[in-house]
């Protein structure tokens, strides 16, 4: 989807659909934005950002900080943040809060200082990189797809190579 200029903007556990053959697909594109067709995109043809005015953010439990801060531009990195929280929930069994002190802490601190990632500091480290507050410091999808421990733990991530 990213290679086609689409930002999902509502990545969360409920939007991962498991088929009978255990293939996982991403669904619910109701909040997605196609930056190639965005009316407010910047002049550069190569940018991967859209104006905040073109964005309708998804579930507040998984939304990236830049969407909440009304940054003038948002990028694919917002999806990386949401994917990081989704993987955190799957690894720790802790549901992401919709508001409150924990919700705020998730958007301002390292994820590993909030949740315990038992027996795997390497996975905790990449999830920290996925969920860092500053979008330009987040890891890329290439980083995620080249992380052997993360791919082993979450086999469905192999399917993200097609997005």
Give the CATH number, domain containing residue 130.
Answer: 1.10.510.10
Q: Is the pLDDT of residue 77 over 70?
A: yes
Instruction: Provide the 3-class DSSP secondary structure of residue 49.
Output: strand
How many helices (H) and strands (E) would you count in the chain? 6, 6
Residues involved in catalysis: 10
**pLDDT tens-digit readout, 51-74:** 444 444 556 888 888 887 776 677
The whole-number average pLDDT for the span 103-111 is: 88
Find the domain containing 51 and state its range: 2-162
Question: Which pair of structure tokens corresponds to residue 138?
Answer: 């987040």
Question: Which pair of structure tokens corresponds to residue 156?
Answer: 């469905």
Q: Which helix (H) or strand (E) holds 75?
A: strand 73-75
**pLDDT tens-digit readout, 124-148:** 999 999 999 999 999 998 899 899 9
pLDDT of residue 52: 42
Question: Which pair of structure tokens corresponds to residue 136?
Answer: 């330009």
Q: Is the pLDDT of residue 50 over 60?
A: no
Query: Domains in the chain: how many in total?
Result: 1
Paired residues of 72 in beta bridges? none
Question: Which pair of structure tokens corresponds to residue 19?
Answer: 């088929």
Q: How confident is the model at residue 163 (pLDDT cuts 50, 70, 90)?
A: low
DSSP state of 17: E
């Amino acid at each position: 989807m990213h290679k086609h200029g689409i930002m999902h903007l509502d990545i969360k556990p409920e939007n991962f659909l498991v088929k009978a053959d255990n293939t996982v697909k991403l669904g619910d594109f109701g909040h997605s934005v196609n930056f190639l067709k965005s009316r407010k995109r910047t002049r550069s043809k190569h940018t991967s950002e859209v104006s905040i005015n073109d964005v309708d953010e998804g579930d507040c439990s998984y939304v990236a900080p830049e969407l909440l801060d009304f940054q003038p531009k948002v990028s694919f990195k917002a999806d990386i943040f949401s994917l990081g929280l989704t993987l955190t929930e799957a690894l720790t069994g802790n549901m992401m809060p919709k508001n409150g002190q924990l919700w705020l802490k998730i958007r301002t601190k390292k994820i590993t200082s909030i949740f315990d990632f038992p027996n795997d500091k390497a996975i905790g480290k990449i999830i920290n990189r996925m969920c860092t507050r500053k979008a330009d410091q987040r890891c890329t999808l290439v980083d995620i797809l080249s992380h052997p421990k993360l791919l082993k733990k979450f086999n469905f991530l192999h399917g993200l190579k097609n997005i």
